[in-house]
């Protein structure tokens, strides 16, 4: 039951925070940096698949180890590292293979993904500890 609570809490936190970032806070930044590379309208099925799979990865690599020992601070640290490596894979690959992918975009996205993943891992851990 704790794993299910951790997954649901992590997923909700990750999606909610990311949608505020993408849809409100940094919307104009992403549009100005990516321009014609952005899908309009958004192709939701792959986006939803990403959220479902990434939240599972956060639980496996950050939340569950933190629930075993270390708590919320450990979850945040492991989440930060998981987010950094995952987003680095995406952003650095884009820089390597996509003509014109902006460095500024890659750096902001990498920082955002790291902080977002740390936050979602900490929230997922705190909720799982509280309700388990």
pLDDT given at position 129:
97
pLDDT given at position 125:
99
pTM, rounded to two decimals: 0.95
Q: Classify 40 as helix, strand or coil.
A: coil
CA pair distance 99, 85, nearest whole angstrom: 22
The residue extents of the domains of the chain are 2-131
CA pair distance 59, 41, nearest whole angstrom: 30
Dihedral angle over CA of 54, 55, 60, 65, nearest 10? 130
CA pair distance 112, 57, nearest whole angstrom: 17
pLDDT given at position 37:
85
Pair 9, 123: CB distance under 8 Å:
yes
Binned average pLDDT, 10 residues per bin, the chain of 132 residues? 97 98 94 88 96 99 98 98 99 96 97 99 98 86
């Amino acid at each position: 039951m704790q794993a299910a609570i951790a997954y649901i809490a992590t997923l909700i936190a990750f999606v909610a925070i990311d949608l505020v970032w993408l849809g409100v806070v940094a919307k104009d930044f992403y549009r100005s940096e990516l321009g014609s590379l952005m899908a309009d309208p958004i192709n939701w099925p792959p986006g939803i698949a990403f959220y479902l799979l990434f939240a599972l990865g956060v639980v496996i690599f950050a939340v569950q180890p933190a629930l075993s020992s270390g708590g919320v601070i450990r979850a945040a640290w492991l989440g930060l590292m998981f987010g950094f490596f995952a987003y680095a894979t995406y952003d650095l690959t884009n820089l390597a293979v996509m003509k014109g992918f902006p460095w500024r975009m890659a750096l902001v996205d990498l920082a955002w993904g790291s902080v977002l993943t740390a936050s979602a891992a900490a929230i997922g851990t705190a909720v799982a500890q509280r309700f388990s």
